[in-house]
Structures are given as C-alpha cells and as structure tokens.
Chains A and B, each alone.
Chain A
Amino acid sequence: MALLHGSDRARPKPGVLCKILGSQAVLLELESETYFGLNETGTRLWALLMTAPSIREAVDTMLSEYDVAPAELERDAAALIDELIDRGLLRVERA
C-alpha cells in the first residue's frame, strides 16, 4: 500500500516488452522469456502507470473511471503492482 502514496513512479524493468491486444495485454520479460497476461483492468492500470507522473495519480485516474470502492481498487492495484515487481516486470522509481 505504501506504493500508492507519495510521488513514486512505476516503470517497466529493462528488457520488458508490452503488447496490447484490445482490452488485454501481454508483458514479456525477454531474458527469461516469461510472459504475463493482463486482463482489462490490469491493462488499463499498466497503461496509466506508464504515462502518469506517479503511481498515486495513476490509481486516482482509475478511481475516476471505475465505479468501485476506493479501498478495494487500491488493494487490487497494490496487489497487481507487487506481483509485477515480484515477476521482474516492473520497478519503482522513488521520487
């Protein structure tokens, strides 16, 4: 949850490629050739993370787009971000 506060930014790890297929996406880590599929909301979050000035602002934009309780969305977003970090697909740049 700490990731969702402050002005930390998320960026793909070097060697990670993304292909968006409609509302879904696939992330590929080149070195290990492992790939990870994202569903519609995961794809939207990934797209926002790549463009928003911070993780917090990406999540705020998600909150404005989805009719969902803030706590629930923040919990799911944090879980996905953690998983992407664990899988070597995402890194966080401290502000």
Chain B
Amino acid sequence: MTEPWTDERVARTVLGRLASAGAGDEVRGAPPGFSVEDRAGLAAWLIGHDLAGLGFRVAREADPPLADLLAGAALGAAAGNLSHFETLSRIEERLAKERIPFVLLKGAAIAGSAYRESSDRSMSDIDLWVRPEDMPGAVAVARDAGLRQVAGLPDRPPELQRHSGGELVFRHLRRDHGIVELHYSAFQGWWVRRAAEADAESLWERSVPMGPGRHARRLSPEDAILHTAFHLVVNQLRQAPLRGLMDLGVLSRAYRIDWEAVADRARAWRLATAVWTALETADRLVGLPGCAPALARLRPGAPRRAALRGLVPRRALLAGRDVPARVRRHLLMLALVDRPRDVARLVGRTLWPEPWWLDARYGRRVSRFGHLFGLMRRGEV
C-alpha cells in the first residue's frame, strides 16, 4: 500500500476531517484535498488502513463516487461489527447476572462511545478487562455464551499472561467474528512492567458506564487517550496504526480532554516518552486540538526526539509500512523508556529473569542460562 498523496499536510487535512466527522461534526462538502483525482487509490488506501467505514460515511456527503468505491468494504466492516457487538451483548448480559464488573477497552469501547456511529470504527475483537479474582467467573461466562478458549502462543502460556496482565482469548466455534479477549489488566506486557509504573487501579476507579443502563464500563476520556497511546507504541505502531491514531483524533474531539491530567499521569507512570511519541505522531497526522501544552510537558530531549523520528517514520505509517526490522523495533522499545536505569532493568530482566518468571514461561524448571541460550538460538538477542 502506498499513500495517495505526496504531501503530508494533505493527508493531515483529510485525516483531520475524518476525525471531526467521526466525533460527530457535520460533514459539509469536500475538504481541500479530499476529492483527489485518483479516487481508486484513495479508496484502496482507506480500506488498507481499516478506515473504510468512516471514509464511507464522510464520502457519502462529500464525494459520492468515492463512497461507491468504499461501500463494499464499509458494509463488510459494519457486518463484522454487528457480529462483535452481538457477542458483547450476550457476554455483558451474563456478566451482569453474575455481578462481575468489567471495563471495555480499545475498539469496542471507543467505537461505542467516542465515534458518532459505531460502524465508523472497525474492530477485530472485543477486549474486556476484569479483575484477576473475577477471571474464573468471567471464563465460565464466556464458555456459557458459546465461546471456546483459544490456545495461546507457545511463548505466552496462561500463567505468564496472568503475571504480565495479558489476556485469555475466546472465539466462537464457527464464526470468525465475535472474538473475545479477557484481560487481566489494562496495561499488558513485560515492557510496561519492567520499564514503567502504570497505575491500572486508578484507571479502573475512574472508569465510567458505557451508557445508561449498561453494565459495561469504559475508561474516562483522559485514560482512554493514555491507554490508546500506550497500546499504539507498545505494538510499535503496527496493527492498523492509522486507525489507532484516528482513535486519538476522535477522542480529542469528542470530549473536553483535560490535557494537564494526561501529562501528569503519563509522567507519574514513567510513560512520558511513549505517550509523547503516540500523541505527537497523531497530532502531526490527524491533529489533536488543545494537546500542545501536554506535548510540551512530555517532550523528551532533542537527541531522543531525533532517534524516535528515525524509528517512527511518519511517511512509512501513512504508506502502511511497519517499522521494519526486529532490531529496529527493539531499539524503539528501548528509546521509549523514560529513565536510563529502567532501560538497564528492562534489558537485564529480559535476559536474566526472575525464577518465578521462568517457571511461568516454561512450565518446568529452566535455568537462566537455558533461557538466555534459547533467546540467542532464536535470534532474539
């Protein structure tokens, strides 16, 4: 996939317009740069970035021939969302009956709250955050709803997922959509545990109901910004990064964001560089109204900014290209760590983990040398 424009500013105009429409602004005519000559290219680009639903709704008003090109993908994405939301409805009803609280995360939460139309925002699964003590009950509910647990990746056994705040994955026997992930925490993975100190408990306390009469809760708008930013960078801006950046653009327009609180929390959690990287990229490509003071407070030093610019090339994001090599992705994760001593801890514990981590990872007694040798053999060092 390549971007259908030669100028990043044109992309920003188009993406900003989409974000405004996503947040509920009236669509009035075509924005500058929206009606490009190469409509097929623009349609393919929007579809490739999972933005067909939002693009279709805007194009219906602004550029009907473009809407025609997007209709198939948009209807398909809407059908996928229908399936996901039907599954969510059944799970939510059962969790309410069992009095198991949960917070809806990521796509389903943002599509169902910040976007004007839930079909604007495609999703690949449904992410539910439950308290660790409620996980057995939530697993029983998922099974009762007709879902079956999917075996995790070999390097992510369930016990390790529990320690890392990871997830258990469930899916229907026959359906491709309606995949449910039950998360132990809002912040998953070893990077955040080794290199930062994110306060997931405070996110839970600030969460709000999805809507009147709903059992499901969602993150507060500020926490949704932080969580989306964290999720984007911890995945090295892969997995539909423009859709994630669009989420930030829509959240910042749909709510009156307290950007000071965003900056305060990111700094307290030692996620300043990570959050800055995501917000700065979103601000340049989509536009985040009012975020400038927060960006100024989170901005890392000039050398690190230069390194991050090289590691997160915006042109590559627009063109749909991943941060390429594994080595480069590792460098990015190191460059995102706020404190130098956390870099040492992250690298040290990755190569030389705690005995309980080895037990959880391998399910049997493995020495640290054995673990290190395995990493080297797999080319992960």
Contact = CB atoms under 8 A, between A and B. Distances in A.
Interface residues of B, number: 21
Contacts of B225: none
Contact of A19 (B60, B71, B72, B82): B82
Contact of B72 (A23, A31, A37): A37
B75 A24 contact: yes
A33 B75 contact: no
A33 B179 CA distance: 13
Contacts of B174: 31, 33
Which applies to chain A's interface (DSSP): helix, strand, loop or mixed? Answer: strand
A79 interface: no
Given A19-B119, A26-B75, A33 B83 contact: yes
B115 interface: no
A32 to B, nearest CB: 8
A84 interface: no
B83 A37 contact: no
A19 B56 contact: no
Interface in A17-66: 17, 19, 21-24, 26, 28, 30-31, 33, 35, 37
B175 A26 contact: no
A21 B119 contact: yes
Interface majority SS on B: helix, strand, loop or mixed?
helix
A37 B176 CA distance: 19
B81 interface: yes
B91 to A, nearest CB: 15
Nearest to B87: A30
Interface in B166-213: 174-177
Contact of B60 (A22, A28, A35): A22
Given A17-B82, A19-B119, A30 B75 contact: no
A37 B82 contact: no
A21 B83 contact: no
B78 interface: yes
A35 B119 CA distance: 15
A35 B86 contact: no
B40 interface: no
A26 B77 CA distance: 10
B310 interface: no
A28 B57 contact: no
Interface size class of A (residues with CB under 8 A): 10 to 19
A35 B117 CA distance: 19
A22 B83 contact: no
A21 B75 contact: yes
Contacts of A17: 82-83, 86
Contacts of A21: 53, 56-57, 74-75, 78, 117, 119
B81 A19 contact: yes
Contacts of B53: 21
B175 A33 contact: yes
Interface string B67-93: 000011011101101110010000000
A83 B82 CA distance: 21
A82 B81 CA distance: 26
A21 to B, nearest CB: 6
A31 B176 CA distance: 10
B119 A33 contact: no
Contacts of B57: 21-22
A12 to B, nearest CB: 12
A64 B74 CA distance: 31
B79 A26 contact: yes
Contacts of B56: 21
A33 B76 contact: no
A37 B175 CA distance: 19
20 contacts: A17-B82, A17-B86, A19-B82, A21-B57, A21-B75, A23-B60, A24-B71, A24-B75, A26-B75, A26-B78, A26-B82, A28-B82, A30-B175, A31-B174, A31-B175, A33-B177, A35-B79, A37-B71, A37-B72, A37-B75
Interface of B: 53, 56-57, 60, 71-72, 74-76, 78-79, 81-83, 86, 117, 119, 174-177
Nearest 7 interchain pairs by C-beta: A35-B79, A26-B75, A28-B79, A17-B82, A37-B75, A28-B82, A19-B78
Given A19-B119, A24-B71, A31-B174, 14 more contacts: A17-B86, A19-B81, A19-B82, A21-B74, A21-B78, A21-B117, A22-B57, A22-B60, A26-B75, A26-B82, A28-B79, A31-B175, A35-B76, A37-B71
